[in-house]
Structure formats: C-alpha cells, structure tokens
Homo-oligomer: A and B are copies of this chain.
Amino acid sequence: MPSTLSYQFSPIGIVHSCYKEKFGIPRQPGLVTEPTARLELIPPYNRLDTLDGLSDFSHIWVHFIFHATASEKWKAKVRPPRLGGKEKVGVFASRSTHRPNPIGLSVIQIGRIYTENNKVFIDLIGADLLDQTPVLDIKPYLPYADKIADAEGGFAPSKAETHNVIFSALAESQCRKYEDLHKKPITTLIKQVIEQDPRPSYLSNQVDREHGISLWDINIKWCARNDHFEIIKIEYE
C-alpha cells in the first residue's frame, strides 16, 4: 500500500537570510536584486565538487521546508494573499505553507559560490526565504524545460504592484553610515522590501501608523503616507 509508506529526509543546507521573521518577506522571489540570503551546505555535502558546473546556470530551484509552520495542520482550502485573503482555493491550487507535506519551492537567482572558514556557500539573490530555512535539495533551472511559454496562471496573472518609497533625511544618513561600515547595500534592500507593502492585509488601510520590520541586524521604522511609503529611521547595534 503506497499510502502507508513514508520517506525521511535530512537537509543538505541551511539558509542564512536577512528575513528573521515571516512578516516582511516578499511574496515571491526575484523582487529584490541584492543577495537577501546565502545557502550554507551542511556536512557531508559541504564540498565544492557537488556544485561543479552550477555557475553556468543563472537560477536554481530550492526545495525547502516551511519550518516556521511545519508543525501546523494542513488545510484542504486556503486563502492565497493574491486573492486579498478573502477567497478560498484548494491547497493544491495554491503555494500555501499549510500543505500536507510542508515543502516549499522557489526559483532563485544565484550569485557567488565560495568557501569561507571551510564552509561552502551560495549567495541567493532576492531569495524569499526565512532565516534558518532547512533546504532539502537544489537543482539547476533549465529554461528549455521549466520556462513554459504558454502556461496559464489562474488567479495569479501578473507581478504585484509596487509603491513609491521615500527615505527621511535621518533614515538616509543612517543607511549611508551603515553601508560605509558594513559594505552592504542596505538602502536598495530596504526600498525593494518596503515597496512590496509588507503589511498584513488587516493593516493595509492604515495611514501614518508606524511599522517595524527587521532585515539582517537592522530594525526599520516606516509608515504609509497618503501617496507613498516613508522610511522614518533605522536602528542597529
């Protein structure tokens, strides 16, 4: 009986991401053009030869575990954010985390492949993955097979719209200082994360209310104004 079989998997790697909490993660990869994360290969897979030839590809598929919600029960019907959280669809017609097997799938642009302190890393550009996400597998994205020219998209027809983001004078100077110190393009990252509107839908009508969001070790204070989003200030150790 196939239904009684089960399979056991151990991660091949772990994600180190700027996203320390679910709140604020863009709802799809590729919206941010900076490395938002890096994948560390776990022993015994921490060998550069397992990645030979990978740099000839621009993108990889990442099979990962929805580890933050893995202990929650699956649901037959879910509310995809793209439908405004109102309509329900079947779980297998969605990319919801509340799946029978909590396996996620993201196509992610790769950056540098390198070793550091005897560890093997791949930079993940615009990855939409939570910090400490366990990774089960990575595979090259094969355009001839994976890019389906005539695929139809159901309820999710196009890219999400983005909002205009303005930094206060204080936030701008704080970001510049951080960039000088850490050599990380944090201004671009903040802009690209906030312009997606990371507010949960029940807060999406609130204007002039201060929100906080964490990226790497930085806490960002921002709010929605009438016709734009404003970065008020940033805080870090």
Seen from chain A, the residues whose Cβ lies within 8 Å of a Cβ on chain B are 2-12, 14, 28-30, 42-43, 45, 47-54, 56-61, 63, 65, 70, 76-77, 88-95, 99-101, 103, 105, 107, 132, 134, 136-159
Would B95 and A142 count as touching, CB distance under 8 A? yes
- Given the known inter-chain contacts A8-B6, A14-B2, A90-B49, please indicate yes or no for A158 contacting B145, CB distance below 8 A: no
Is B9 in contact with A103, judged by CB distance below 8 angstroms?
yes
Q: How far is the CB of A7 from chain B (nearest CB, A)?
A: 5
Given contacts A93-B51, A154-B53, contact A137 B99 (CB under 8 A): yes
Query: Does A63 lie within 8 Å of B147, measured CB to CB?
Result: no
Identical subunits present: 2
Contacting residues, chain B, for A147 (C-beta < 8 A): 147-149, 151
Chain B contacts for A11, CB-based, 8 A: 2-3, 5
**Once the chains are docked, how many angstroms separate the CA of A91 from the CA of B101?**
24
Q: Is the CB of A105 within 8 A of B28?
A: no
Pair A56/B93 contact, Cβ less than 8 Å: yes
Q: Known contacts A9-B9, A49-B76; decide if A139 and B92 are in contact (CB<8 Å).
A: yes
The complex places the Cα of A50 from the Cα of B61 at a distance, in Å, of 25
Most B CB contacts (10 A, CB to CB) among A59, A132, A137 go to: A137
Q: A8-B8, A48-B90, A50-B76 are in contact. List 15 more A-B contacts (CB 8 A).
A: A3-B10, A6-B10, A9-B9, A12-B100, A47-B76, A53-B90, A53-B154, A54-B89, A54-B93, A92-B138, A107-B145, A107-B146, A146-B146, A146-B148, A146-B151
